[in-house]
A = this chain, B = another copy of it.
Amino acid sequence: MSERRKIAVFGLGSMGMGMARSLLAAGHQVHGFDLNAEAAKRFETFGGAPAVADKVAGDLDIVVSVVLNGAQTRSVLFGEAGIAPRLKPGAVIISCATLAPEIARQLEKEAHSLNLHYLDAPISGGAVKAAEGALTIMASGTPKAFAAAKPALDATAQKVFQLGDAAGAGSAMKAINQLLAGVHIAAAAEAVTFGMTQGVSPDQTLEVISQCAGSSWMFENRVPHIAEADYSPRSTVNIWPKDLGIVLDIAKEARFSAPLAAAAMQQFLAAAGSGLGDEDDAAVAKVYARNAGVTLPQKP
């Protein structure tokens, strides 16, 4: 059992709330912060400590940032009302948002200038794994950052990849994963709807391809949503313009031509643009179906 720590979690969306509750369940004192006062109140009903940053900042051992992107991460840490300058020396910041490796390196540098530890620690696994304390974390940072972060990592992750002793590597690996994940979701939708034009049902495609060389983790996870017409959001369409946007920004900066990521991006943009942004990301199949004039399975 690790010692009880004082922890703040910034960002109580589906991922952050799951992580915050996992930290509570592990016995830590957890303060939850969110721009949405509703979410912060809800977290208190689960046992969360009051979210009064001024009063608690100096006592915190760990800050977990699970906000949307690099700009929000910078804002909650180092912005005008950012918490970092008020943390005690030796506290650790665990940054979980998907952001560019270059931004992670900058944030680490700023943290070090305040005598804080910084762990570049993007997360993978979705809201269900977050709630179970069973995330995958792709982390890089100094040995001291890992050591200081350990109680929080233990409580929230099933698997922690230690990818090096400086920020950047964790975010780079997350970008690689998101490139593949986004392409594979769009490819699954493309394949299933292509099959429908040939008289093959999504159920048949799912059954056969899951056992063939054309399969992927995303194919097996998302095609059932299409086959069952279940677009309740486990992970939304809107994630992908954001995450593939980060991938393509990094790629542009590196002068890296990424035609598949770019093509997948267009399909998710078409999905978001046509009103599907808050649906499960398997709804990108609706773009393909509409373009091809085929009718996807419907709810009974």
Contact present for A169 and B264 (CB under 8 Å): no
CA distance A175 to B192 in the complex (A): 11
Of A136, A175, A208, A267, chain B has the most CB atoms within 10 Å of the CB of A208
Give the residue name and chain of the B residue nearest to A180 (CB): B214
* B-binding segment of A23-31, A74-82, A193-201: A193-201
Give the residue name and chain of the B residue nearest to A294 (CB): B256
Residues on B with beta carbons closer than 8 Å to the beta carbon of A183:
183, 187, 190, 260
Shortest distance between the CB of A256 and any CB in chain B (Å): 5
Q: Is the interface of A mostly helix, strand, loop or mixed?
A: helix
Does any Cβ of B come within 8 Å of A172's Cβ? yes
CA distance A191 to B177 in the complex (A): 8
A184-229: which have CB < 8 Å to B?
184, 186-188, 190-195, 197-200, 204-205, 208-209, 211-219, 221
Q: How large is the interface on A (under 10, 10 to 19, 20 to 34, 35 or more residues)?
A: 35 or more
Number of copies: 2
Query: What sequence of 0s and 1s flags, for each residue 240-275 of chain A, a beta carbon within 8 Å of any chain B beta carbon?
Result: 000000010011001111111111101100000000
CA distance A194 to B252 in the complex (A): 11
Does any Cβ of B come within 8 Å of A155's Cβ? no
Contact present for B163 and A176 (CB under 8 Å): no
Does any Cβ of B come within 8 Å of A119's Cβ? no
Contact present for B260 and A180 (CB under 8 Å): no
Shortest distance between the CB of A294 and any CB in chain B (Å): 8
Shortest distance between the CB of A193 and any CB in chain B (Å): 7
Contact present for B176 and A259 (CB under 8 Å): no
Q: Which of B163, B198, B208, B211 contacts A254 (CB 8 A)?
A: B198
